Structure 1
Amino acid sequence: MSKPQFHIWPMSESDAAAVCEWRYPAPYEQFRWPSWRAMTRDGKEFGDAEIRRRQYVSVCDEHSALVGYAQFFPMEGVVRLGMGMRPDRCGRGSGAAFARAIALEAGSRYPGAQIDLEVETWNARAIRAYEKAGFKVADRYSRQAAHGEVEVYCMVFGG
């Protein structure tokens, strides 16, 4: 079986609205986005057209079907990644290729920048995928998330 191929392009409004409809099973349900109506009303993340244009991309499969999204959040010398995969695609073995494609895209957009991400320490499935993609744990700390105070690993992409 060949490795999944992913294509990355600017996130459209229709893709953004579709992402807001995704519902994850427990224990991942906390990662769902508010409704598209709430996102646009509040100008939250990709609900704001300018933030969506600058930071968000759609990730599609070889048939151009939306399978995920990514955020490239530039900081001083670092690009912090955020990503999400469509719920029906999670847990099927393509997470590492998905994360690697996003990290390589970030590297091409921001040459010389360190590429990292944060992942909650309990999320073993995501951590395994990120490690297979070339990320390594660099730090552990607490931070505030939409669903409360969380312990996270900061993982850095090594190529």
Structure 2
Amino acid sequence: MDYSFQIITQEQAEHIAYNWKYDGEFAFYDLTADEEDLAEFIDGEQRGNSTYAVLHHGEMIGFYTFNVLNESTIDIGLGMHPNLTGKGKGEAFTKAGVDFSITRYAPENLTLSVAAFNNRAIKVYKKVGFVPIGTFIQETNGSRYEFIKMNYSLSKRG
């Protein structure tokens, strides 16, 4: 698939934050479910230039946030349009984000965190080459949840 990445606009960020609603247990990922996450996502200063809208044929289909942890590691956050999840598009979307981060940042490692209940995403991330490296508990959405930290090592890929 052909994806393009552009720094997200305020209008795009607000559209995602207030209009993208996921079904069932995946409503956990609605940005309005956690006040801190919402505030950070819609505040242009906090968001900075690290969040990108992902376009496919001119339509916004997702977003990526790239946080530089150190000179060798980028932590990524991502979201796909709710209408596209569960339809076999996650692997290509994730690969596009990995490829973009390699081109833009040239890291040795990429990390991401995923809710432990989200087996669908975990399966996709493993297919792309991420491996679980640990778990942690985080307070979010008014409760405590287990997350899995995953790593994608570029130094082992040559």
4+ residue segments displaced more than 4 Å: none
Percent identity reads 25
Separation of aligned partners in 2, 1:55 and 1:106:
11
Contact 1:73 1:81 in 2 (8 A): yes
C-alpha deviation, 1:113, in angstroms: 4.0
Query: Does structure 1 residue 13 correspond to structure 2 residue 10?
Result: yes
Instruction: Classify the secondary structure of the residue corresponding to 1:54.
Output: coil
Name the counterpart of 1:70.
Answer: 64
Q: Is 1:135 aligned to residue 130 of structure 2?
A: yes
Per-residue CA deviation, residues 27-60 of structure 1 (Å, 9 max, x unaligned), is 101111129xx88xx9822312123332210011
1:82-115 CA distance string (max 9 Å, x none)? 1010000001101011111112212222223421
Secondary structure (helix, strand or coil) at the match of 1:58 reads: strand
| Aligned equivalent of 2:121 | 126
**Which SS does the other structure have where 1:23 is aligned?**
coil
Contact 1:116–1:157 (8 Å) recurs in 2: yes
Cα deviation code 1:100-157 (max 9, x no counterpart): 1112212222223421100111101000111112211111222222342111111111
TM-score (norm 1): 0.85
Aligned amino acid, residue 17 of structure 1: E
**Structure 1 gap segments, 5+ residues each:** none
In structure 2, runs of 5+ residues without a counterpart are: none
CA contact (8 A) 1:121 1:151 kept: yes
Residue aligning to 2:29: 31
Name the stretch that deviates more: 16-25 or 52-61: 52-61
CA–CA distance in structure 2, aligned partners of residues 23 and 32 of structure 1: 6
Q: Which amino acid aligns with 1:133?
A: V
